[in-house]
Structure 1
């Protein structure tokens, strides 16, 4: 079961070539979402390597940050950004639930979705550039690695029991309501501890990392509350929006401490 869950997590959340899972059920789906921070490790390592190489090459911090963010985007085929755009388009389209869901399913991005993508990517890159300006060497690279992995903890909250799917088909049907609140708490506490340790190692106060995780949790929870009110539940697109918002929040919080 663990092997199937791992393959499901890596195959869904990254562009890494992996064998398809032998069997997919709700138990394996729940475990895959809990493994999401670890499954994102290849993307995080890529971003960390770019940060380190950019500093060694003397690139401007903003250029290095944009390249690092680009690696993460390319590493998941822009899946989460697509979800962000569709979610915002759905919320902006209409107050009618069915109309909003239909807009999200079209696969095209409207003005609201494009604006959201630009703003969130801009926040991620600008915040990361600020973090890089406050530290040098391998330490900020490790902080970026931890931030990317920790941001994927958002998926456990999207799948917590009590948050129902907006549709009976698609990604939501398999993954939603599969993770218990206790396990969500365990994953987020682990993410907060990792961020606190990384922040301390970089030279920040340890609690800045923990605060970044707490703020990301609050932002993701707000997105879920809004999605449930507007769509009647969550979809795979909402999962993507939550991940991107989580990463942006973590980086912004860390930038305020650098």
Structure 2
């Protein structure tokens, strides 16, 4: 029980701006527990985001503006580190050269053309999708979409996917999640998605399985390109999963 609480507190300190103190000494065991607890943090963030979107919608804002402000609030709540990882990963994938060169581009600190394009498209998709979900009062869909990003991070850290460097965030969490963690969170998320799309209970679980399968494929591709995973790739995976899930819940509407 204490280990689970430690993992959740560390996950909150890593993934949100909440003033939660994690353990003083952080190694791979603590990193493993924090990543395993990431979807729980996602559910909390999702509920908060759905609340913000509801307030903005009730205030009479246009769905597009409400969605954009909601995405901005989510970025603030997570220190914007995931969108930074998205831009860095896109630039790394867009460069030529060996994995070392790609990782150097990712560490450069600036956003190149691929990174800017990825940010515009992904944030735009999330904003429009959240706005549309809010207009349709699909609040469960918003919560599940935000949580899906954090489940994708668990999948990214599954056994057999190494870190790209022996130092840094990736080294703490890569290759740390067993099949039970991946399977459990996938089943829980798919079950929650039953309520994501009104009148089509089956669509939510199908979207979750499809998005997480694509995320796993992209993670494997990026791990080969970069010789492993790092914190930037985890952020990119998270943002992709949120956007893709939200779009999936709107299909056929």
Q: Name stretches of at least 5 consecutive residues in structure 1 with no aligned partner.
A: none
User: Could you report, residue by residue, the CA deviation over 1:43-69 in whole angstroms, capped at 9, with x for unpaired residues?
Assistant: 323311222112211211111111111
Partner of 1:174: 172
User: Could you report, residue by residue, the CA deviation over 1:104-148 in whole angstroms, capped at 9, with x for unpaired residues?
Assistant: 112211111011011011111122223234x23xxx233312321
- CA distance in 2 between counterparts of 1:127 and 1:95 reads 36
- CA distance in 2 between counterparts of 1:255 and 1:149 reads 17
Partner of 1:239: 234
Q: Does 1:151 align with 2:153?
A: no
Matches within 5 A, 1:178-257: 178-199=176-197, 203-257=198-252
Partner of 1:161: 159
Deviation at 1:42? 4.2
- CA distance in 1 between counterparts of 2:119 and 2:11 reads 24
Q: Name stretches of at least 5 consecutive residues in structure 2 with no aligned partner.
A: none
Matches within 5 A, 1:44-193: 44-133=46-135, 135-136=136-137, 140-193=138-191
Partner of 1:10: 12
Deviation at 1:5? 1.0
Partner of 2:37: 35
Give the secondary-structure state (helix, strand or coil) at the position aligned to 2:23.
Answer: coil
Task: Indicate if the aligned counterparts of 1:127 and 1:255 stay in contact, CA closer than 8 A.
Answer: yes
- CA distance in 2 between counterparts of 1:252 and 1:4 reads 34
Task: Indicate if the aligned counterparts of 1:172 and 1:234 stay in contact, CA closer than 8 A.
Answer: yes
- CA distance in 1 between counterparts of 2:179 and 2:96 reads 32
* Root mean square deviation of aligned Cα: 1.5
- Greater alpha carbon shift after TM alignment, 70-79 vs 21-30: 21-30
Task: Indicate if the aligned counterparts of 2:144 and 2:192 stay in contact, CA closer than 8 A.
Answer: yes
| TM-score normalised by structure 1 residue count | 0.92
Task: Indicate if the aligned counterparts of 1:165 and 1:232 stay in contact, CA closer than 8 A.
Answer: yes
User: Could you report, residue by residue, the CA deviation over 1:14-55 in whole angstroms, capped at 9, with x for unpaired residues?
Assistant: 111111313323232222112112113443233112221122
Matched residues, number = 251
